[in-house]
Structure formats: C-alpha cells, structure tokens
Amino acid sequence: MNLIADKISEKLDVRVFVDKETASKEAASAIAQLIKTKNSKGEKTVLGLATGSTPLQLYAELIRLHKEEGLSFKNVITFNLDEYYPMSPQSEHSYVHFMKENLFNHIDIEMENVNIPDGTISKEEVNDYCASYEKKISEAGGIDLQLLGIGRTGHIGFNEPDSDWNTLTRIVTLDPLTRKDAAKGFGGIDNVPTEAITMGVGSILKSKKIIMMAWGEGKASIVNEMINGIVTDQVPATYLQLHQNVAVYLDREASTAL
C-alpha cells in the first residue's frame, strides 16, 4: 500500500503515504469494505461526505469500484458536511453540483438517500432547518464514517476558529482566509458567499469513525497543529483528538512538519 509511516502521534492514528493517489485509494478501500460488510447484513451504510479538492481522487476510486468491481451504493445514505449560504443547488458553485459531478451521477445511489444542506432556506427558517438536519442524521442511525479535509484555518466542515466542541448544524460566518482560498473558483473573493450552513463539531464527533485527509506542503503546518497541538477552539480540527476512532491519511508533503 506504499505506507511510509504510521503511529507518528500518540493522540491520533496517523498514516503517511507516498502520494495522495495511494492514500485516496486506501481510504476508498476502507469505505468500500464498510459498505460491503453492511450490505452483507442487509444494513444501510451512513456516510458523511466532504467537498473540495481533497476527496476528488477518493471519489474517483469509489466510482471505479462501482463500475469495475460492482460496489453498490443502493443501501448508502449520505449527509454532506456543508453548503455555502445563500446558494442555489443549480449553481456551478453549489456542493449539490459538486457532488453530482464528482460522485452521485456515476454510481447507483438513490438520490432520495442523499442529503446536502439547503442553501436556499430563508433566514427565518434556517435554525429549524438545521435542527431537522440533525434529526435526520439521528433517525438514520448516526454517521458510520465521516470524511473530512482540513482548511488552512484549521476548520473541519465550515467550523471556523471560535467554534465550540459541542456545536451542531448551524449557519456560520466564513473566515476571510477561507473565502480567500475559495476566491479563484468563484472568479474573485467578492463573489464568495460570506456564510455557510455546516454540520457542527459536535455533529462530526458523533460519527462512529472519521477519516481525515490532507495533501500537500501547504497543509503541513496546520496538520501538525491538529495532531500535536493543544485542543483549542482556535484550531477546531484539534477537537478530533477527543474522538476514539480517527484515521488521518496524509501524503508525504503534508507530513513534513510532524
């Protein structure tokens, strides 16, 4: 599997691979095995999904496993971490569009089992909507496996610095650095929404298993803080140290500060 090192940290299960392609395939294999095990028992698999560039190759591998090896997603329920607000699902910038283009349109998942925060909900209704999103996760049996990336602010989902460990799905204001990092895709920072709906840190920590992925030297510093720093609301990813079942998948470059 081209695993370079593991157990770098006593706090988290850290796995360093030669490159992000290898790491992505290994993470996809873990997801596939979970789905197969659940399918064999006639059970649903509940996945928490992430967007952005980090999981792209993982999703490509899941598509390959479906098309070439018959991995079925008919018994899979998904909950995405977040969505920009406001945001039309028809927009090319929406995470609905992202997930369809990069995963859902290419596998046999039932679209009624797909859940992505609604960026069109009114401000008056958003709190009730967020509570209903949490309720739907709970009614599905909770998330079996949550995928995460990490932002340069240390955010997981869109839980920016100052997010408490027990926060649930809610509307948040995006950090300027997060908006700056998204600016290219939106054709300029002025076009990047200032808010988002996100599952909370507490929502994420309820997951039975978490796979955190990070690629590239640009993530090395914040990855080191996440793994070896003190648990603090200024780096929300450090809250993962409180979870009992987190696997951190890194490429060589993302591990250079450890």
The per-residue pLDDT for range 57-84, each reduced to its tens digit, is 999 999 999 999 999 999 999 999 999 9
pLDDT at 245: 96
Residue 2: pLDDT band by 50, 70, 90 thresholds?
Answer: low
Q: Which residue is catalytic, options 26, 82, 251, 253?
A: 82
Q: Which residue is catalytic, options 160, 175, 225, 251?
A: 160
pLDDT at 225: 96
Q: Give 80's strand partners.
A: 49
pLDDT (average), residues 123-149: 98
Coil/strand/helix, residue 70 = coil
Helix, strand, coil content of the chain in percent (nearest 5): 40, 20, 40
> What are the tens digits of pLDDT across the range 195-215?
999 999 999 999 999 999 999
Residue 155 known to be catalytic: yes
Range of 46's domain?
Answer: 3-255
Phi, psi angles (nearest 5°) of residue 48: -100, 125
CATH of the domain at 242: 3.40.50.1360
Other CB atoms closer than 10 Å to residue 122's CB: what's the count? 8
Residue 160 known to be catalytic: yes
pLDDT at 164: 97
Coil/strand/helix, residue 178 = helix
Domains in the chain: how many in total?
1
Q: Which secondary structure element, helix H or strand E, spans residue 82, and what is its range?
A: strand 82-85
